């Protein structure tokens, strides 16, 4: 289990801290999603976990052991798969794997075994003799991931592992990543693709401006009594209602609304809120063309928590 | 050791697949050595033949005029070609570019040799030098001076002969025609020590070898910057590979590359240059060869360390190519690689003392030309090693700072 406790970090010469009092508990044996807009602090947190930055404020522990000690005891315990293709384009797939296995200090037999396992895992058998620079985007992502698995890490840090790949490769990568906990590797997964996180993560934390806005199991986060609605009218939504339901204008008199729970369980609350909304719209003389009400998805939750304003 | 072996293998494979880097390291210096050794062949040989031809139009045909012609021929500096019989023919030849100088010895030259112009009341026809106006004025002057000197010698010998006869001194029937006084040996003065200047091949082989060794900056920075940009360095750091291992992983392969360059360039000097008509490079033997290798090793460490520093300073490979390439050319220009230091004015020689390439070249020249011992090369070795240590320390500090 990875425990992050009150961690803050400020880069040299930075005006504001990159992380402020971040506390998370990431259970062993699962895929944990780390979400946040650009500049939220995800990369800083991953860099701290990978040992690229040193924790100055707060504590991080892996299986009860302080992170630095855990890394010293087993340097292969945590592996990082950067967002970029962090391998050598002029080397072949096999040469890249052999180099990184050597860099990990694996002995000859173990090296052979781990390289074979990584090739099989990422299904790279057909391209082992190809130079990495000749691979397609999807194969490069698979090689990037395969290198990360060479040391059989307890914790794998994946930074946007599916950027720039076709749907088939993405689906393959997601399935492969989802299967990792079964072989003893806990995954910390950062991505901007909400549907990916929703598909494979059991736990999620949403970060923004260096702070944790929300964290917990995916079910817990999405099963709050808050629900959402999408409504289409024949005229603009009255201002009072727009304010009450934190409406977002989707164009063509369509609006996204949030129903905040005030009355018991989500399902009850949702029905009561929907009925009340329809009454009020009728009173205001609005004709409702369409109404969809339901549990909010991760993207809606994310957008609500992080606001819609553009970052960087 | 597994880790270092992996790093060395990776660097070697990456370099072997970098065709531009290999060309910069091996092909470029070989071409430089061959071209520059040939081009500067004569510039390094004081008193060497000048490829300018002259003819003598002997209108006198006396023993004295023939003697002057032979004396000029013996100096060997200018090329003597067969002369036409008349001045007009000589003028036409010069116009046609067959030769650049024609010396006309007037009729009565022999008779009037010991009679200063007008001393006996009769006009003496002077010697005429016809020149191609495009000929370098310094060469025109040089030929005039040679002619004056030869004429003076001829007069002196004739005078000695005549005076001897007059005073009844024992003299040879005819004084032997003395050679041009070539016992004057040229000495190039370098600072406070006088040494024989290097020959073209002795200057060019070590000079372009040093230049080539410093060119490891191109492949080293190309790989290191790619590693940084692609996150590979981060990945290695996350794997627990210390940055000093990454540096060590580059030091050894490129040290070996530098040694291969040294062997190759020396081989070109010994066997390649003579194929093109130049003189062969002569290498020291025994302990001298070991001292030569010590210099090569120190140059290599300085070159690889400077390359790592450039790779750490530059953000992109374009930047590193510019910083590394221009930096090398500047170091070479002020360090006596392109223009030998002994040809530079004093202020430039002082400036050259600040170029690591000058220390390197000086080290090689100390061993190859002065046959200096270990103590003689030690100052240059210390400077090169200090340069390497400083560059490595700054490179490490910069990389640490970038990741903090």
Give the mutation candidate from A83, A90, A95, A96 for the B interface (greatest B CB count, under 10 A): A90
Comparing CB atoms, the residue among B3, B14, B229 nearest residue A103 is B3
Among B9, B13, B235, the residue with its CB nearest the CB of A80 is: B235
Which domain-ending residue is among B185, B200, B221? B185
Element (H, E) at B248: helix B243-267
From the CA of B225, how many Å to the nearest CA of chain A? 12
CB contact under 8 A, B229 and A84: yes
Facing residue for A86 by CB, picked from B14, B18, B231:
B231
Q: Is A40 helix (H, G, I), strand (E, B) or coil?
A: coil
Inter-chain touch A91–B13, beta carbons under 8 Å: yes
> Whole-angstrom Cα distance, residue B211 to residue B202?
15
C-beta of residue B217 within 8 angstroms of C-beta of residue B302: no
CA distance B17 to chain A (A): 7
pLDDT at B253: 92
* Structure confidence at residue A311 (pLDDT): 56
Contact B230 A151 (CB under 8 A): no
Boundary residue ending a domain (B158, B185, B212):
B185
Q: Is A78 on the interface with B (CB under 8 A)?
A: yes
Residue A79 banded pLDDT, cuts 50, 70, 90: very high
Number of domains in chain B: 2
For residues B378 and B348, state if they share a domain. yes
Predicted confidence at residue A182, as pLDDT, reads: 92
Are the beta carbons of B231 and A82 separated by less than 8 Å? yes
Separation CA B296–CA B261 (nearest Å): 10
Q: Verify that B141 and B251 share a domain, yes or no.
A: no
Examine the domain organization and report whether B168 and B223 are in the same domain. Answer: no
Q: Which of residues 179-238 of A touch B (CB under 8 A)?
A: none
Nearest to B294 by CA among B250, B340, B360, B199: B360
What is the pLDDT at residue B117? 60
- CA gap A214, A305 in Å, rounded: 8
| Same-domain check for residues B202 and B300 | yes
Same domain, B61 and B36: no
Going by pLDDT thresholds of 50, 70 and 90, the confidence category of residue A87 is: very high
Do A52 and B403 lie within an 8 Å CB cutoff?
Answer: yes
What would the mean pLDDT of A82-87 be, rounded to a whole number? 92
Per CB-CB distance under 8 Å, the chain B contacts of A50 are 234, 237-238
Q: Is there a single domain that holds both residue B139 and residue B252?
A: no
Cβ neighbours of A62 in B, within 8 Å? none
Which of B2, B9, B237 lies closest to A51 in CB terms?
A: B237
Final residue in a domain of this structure, among B143, B158, B185: B185
Indicate if B248 and B330 belong to the same structural domain: yes
Q: What is the pLDDT of residues A249-278, one digit of tens each?
A: 888 888 888 777 665 566 667 778 888 888
B315 and B214 within one domain = yes
- Provide the CATH number for the domain formed by A227-295 in this structure: 3.30.70
Residue A9's nearest CA partner among A52, A53, A51 is: A53
Residues B325 and B211 in one domain: yes
Alpha-carbon gap, residue B41 to B33, rounded angstroms: 11
SS3 content of chain A, % helix, strand, coil (to 5): 40, 25, 35
Residue ranges of chain B with pLDDT lower than 50?
A: 47, 179-183, 186-194
Chain A: closest CA distance from residue B30 (Å): 26
Contacts of B326 (CB under 8 A, 6+ apart): none
pLDDT at A262: 61
Answer yes or no: do B13 and A85 touch at CB < 8 A.
Answer: no
Same domain, B92 and B175: yes
Residue A110 Rama label (left phi>0; alpha psi -120 to 50; beta): alpha
Digit-coded pLDDT (tens) for A34-55: 988 888 888 899 999 998 888 8
What own/partner pairs with CB < 8 Å and gap ≥ 24 does A175-184 have? Answer: A176/A121, A176/A122, A176/A145, A177/A31, A177/A145, A178/A31, A180/A31, A180/A149, A180/A156, A181/A29, A181/A30, A181/A31, A184/A29, A184/A152, A184/A154
User: A2-221: which CATH topology?
Assistant: Rossmann fold (3.40.50)
Interface of B with A (CB under 8 A): 2-3, 5-7, 9-10, 13-14, 17-18, 226, 229-232, 234-241, 403-404
Burial class (CB in 10 A: 0-12, 13-18, 19+), A14: exposed
The pLDDT, as a whole number, for residue B171 is 57
Å between A161 CA and nearest CA of chain B: 13
Whether A75 has its CB under 8 Å from any CB of chain B: the answer is: yes
**How far is residue A218 from each of residues A201, A223, B260, measured CA to CA in Å?**
7, 8, 61
- Same structural domain for residues B81 and B176? yes
What's the pLDDT at A292? Answer: 83
For chain A, domain boundaries: 2-221, 227-295
The answer to whether the CB atoms of A99 and B230 lie below 8 A apart is no
Please report residues of A whose CB lies closer than 8 A to that of B5. Answer: 102
Residue B212: which domain range? 2-44+192-403
pLDDT tens digits, one per residue of A155-203: 999 998 888 888 888 899 999 999 999 988 999 999 888 888 888 999 9
Least CB–CB distance from B239: residue in A53, A75, A85? A75
For A103, the closest of B6, B230, B403 (CB atoms) is B6
B262 shares its domain with B131: no
Average pLDDT over residues A6-20: 88
């Amino acid at each position: 289990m990875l425990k992050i406790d009150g961690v803050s970090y400020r880069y040299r010469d930075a005006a504001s801290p990159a992380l402020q009092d971040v506390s998370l508990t990431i259970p062993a044996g699962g895929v944990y999603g780390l979400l946040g807009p650009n500049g939220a602090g995800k990369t800083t947190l991953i860099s701290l976990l990978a040992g690229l930055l040193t924790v100055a404020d707060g504590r991080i522990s892996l299986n009860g052991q302080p992170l630095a000690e855990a890394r010293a005891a087993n340097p292969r315990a945590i592996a990082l798969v950067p967002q970029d293709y962090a391998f050598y384009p002029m080397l072949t797939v096999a040469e890249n794997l052999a180099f990184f296995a050597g860099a990990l200090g694996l002995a000859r037999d173990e090296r052979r075994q781990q390289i074979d396992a990584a090739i099989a895992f990422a299904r790279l058998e057909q391209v082992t003799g190809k130079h990495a620079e000749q691979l397609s985007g999807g194969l490069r992502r698979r090689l990037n991931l395969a290198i990360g698995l060479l040391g059989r890490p307890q914790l794998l840090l994946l930074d946007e592992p599916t950027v720039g790949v076709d749907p088939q490769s993405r689906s393959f990568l997601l399935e492969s990543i989802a299967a990792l906990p079964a072989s003893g590797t806990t995954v910390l997964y950062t991505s901007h693709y909400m549907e990916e996180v929703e598909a494979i993560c059991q736990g999620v934390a949403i970060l923004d401006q260096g702070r944790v806005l929300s964290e917990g199991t995916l079910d817990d986060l999405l099963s709050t009594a808050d629900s959402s609605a999408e409504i289409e009218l024949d005229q603009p939504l009255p201002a009072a209602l727009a304010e009450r339901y934190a409406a977002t204008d989707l164009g063509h008199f369509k609006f996204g609304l949030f129903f905040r729970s005030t009355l018991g369980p989500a399902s009850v609350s949702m029905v009561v809120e929907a009925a009340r909304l329809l009454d009020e719209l009728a009173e205001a003389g609005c004709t409702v063309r369409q109404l969809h009400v339901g549990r909010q998805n991760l993207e809606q939750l994310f957008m609500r928590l992080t606001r819609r304003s553009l970052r960087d | 050791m597994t880790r270092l072996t992996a790093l060395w293998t990776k660097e070697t494979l990456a370099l072997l697949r970098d065709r531009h880097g290999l060309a910069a390291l091996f092909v470029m210096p070989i071409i430089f050595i061959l071209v520059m050794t040939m081009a500067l062949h004569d510039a390094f040989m004081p008193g060497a033949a000048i490829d300018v031809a002259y003819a003598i139009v002997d209108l006198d045909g006396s023993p004295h005029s023939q003697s002057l012609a032979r004396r000029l021929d013996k100096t060997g500096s200018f090329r003597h070609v067969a002369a036409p019989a008349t001045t007009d023919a000589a003028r036409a030849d010069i116009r046609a570019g067959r030769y650049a100088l024609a010396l006309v010895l007037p009729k009565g030259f022999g008779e009037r040799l010991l009679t200063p112009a007008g001393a006996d009341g009769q006009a003496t026809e002077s010697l005429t030098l016809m020149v191609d106006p495009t000929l370098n004025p310094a060469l025109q002057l040089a030929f005039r001076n040679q002619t004056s000197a030869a004429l003076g010698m001829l007069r002196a010998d004739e005078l000695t002969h005549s005076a001897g006869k007059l005073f009844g001194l024992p003299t040879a029937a005819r004084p032997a025609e003395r050679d041009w006084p070539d016992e004057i040996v040229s000495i190039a003065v370098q600072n406070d020590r006088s040494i024989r200047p290097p020959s073209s091949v002795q200057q060019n082989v070590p000079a372009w070898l040093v230049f080539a060794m410093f060119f490891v900056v191109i492949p080293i920075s190309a790989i290191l910057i790619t590693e940084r940009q692609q996150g590979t360095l981060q990945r290695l750091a996350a794997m627990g590979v210390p940055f000093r291992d990454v540096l060590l992983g580059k030091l050894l392969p490129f040290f070996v590359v530098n040694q291969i360059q040294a062997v190759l360039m020396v081989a070109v000097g010994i066997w390649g240059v003579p194929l093109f008509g130049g003189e062969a490079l002569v290498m020291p033997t025994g302990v001298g060869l070991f001292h030569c290798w010590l210099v090569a090793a120190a140059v290599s460490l300085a070159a690889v360390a400077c390359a790592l520093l450039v790779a750490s300073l530059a953000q992109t490979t374009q930047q590193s190519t510019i910083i590394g390439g221009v930096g090398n050319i500047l170091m070479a220009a002020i360090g006596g690689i392109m223009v030998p230091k002994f040809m530079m004015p004093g202020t430039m020689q002082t400036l050259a003392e600040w170029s690591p390439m000058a220390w390197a070249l000086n080290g090689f020249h100390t061993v190859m030309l002065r046959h200096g011992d270990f103590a003689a090369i030690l100052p240059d070795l210390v400077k090169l090693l200090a340069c390497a240590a400083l560059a490595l320390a700054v490179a490490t500090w910069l990389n640490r700072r970038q990741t903090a």
